[in-house]
Amino acid sequence: MLAVILALATAITWGANPLIARKAMLKADVMTANFYGIIAGLVVVTAFSFFSGELALLPTVPQDQVLTFVAVGISTIVLGRTFYYQSIIRIGAGPSIAISSASILVAPAIAFFYLNEVINLKMAVGIVMVFAGIFFIARRDD
């Protein structure tokens, strides 16, 4: 149950982010938004890690895991957020949120091929429904 609550909290915070950012980005550029967002995130994560005692564990993380986390950070925080904010500026927050939900199509495919995870019928139906929704949102001007 806790995992479901955490996933829902993630959806709420990620869903609210572009709505809040859209207004601020009318007066700032994408790199400014990224810069201050990353700095704020770094401060919060550092403080949390310090007070939880996890900061002391950083030197013990194996190098291959560090490189993986660096790649994940670059792809999600830097590239993903930059592309996301650009799309918010160009097409608005609502369509950007919906179209960026295509990650739900990418993750199961990668999990299937890379992690050998099984895609069951419920997941397949959900993937098709998300794809259909993205398709109709992307074609909203037609």
Q: Cα 8 to chain center, whole Å? A: 14
Q: Which two tokens stand for residue 67?
A: 């490189």
* pLDDT per position as a tens digit, 2-34: 988 988 898 888 878 877 888 887 788 888 888
Domain boundaries in the chain? 2-94, 101-142
Cα–Cα distances in Å, from 111 out to 41, 68, 91, 129? 28, 16, 30, 19
| Contact present, 18 and 97 (Cβ < 8 Å) | yes
Instruction: Transcribe 21-64 into DSSP letters.
Output: HHHHTTSS-HHHHHHHHHHHHHHHHHHHHHHHTGGGGGGGS-HH
Cα radius of gyration rounded to whole Å, the chain: 18
pTM of the predicted model as reported, rounded to 2 decimal places = 0.68
Among candidate residues 89, 75, 108, the one with its CA nearest the CA of residue 24:
89
User: Which of 7-16, 53-62, 68-77, 91-100 shows the lowest mean pLDDT across its residues?
Assistant: 91-100
Strand, helix or coil at 117? coil
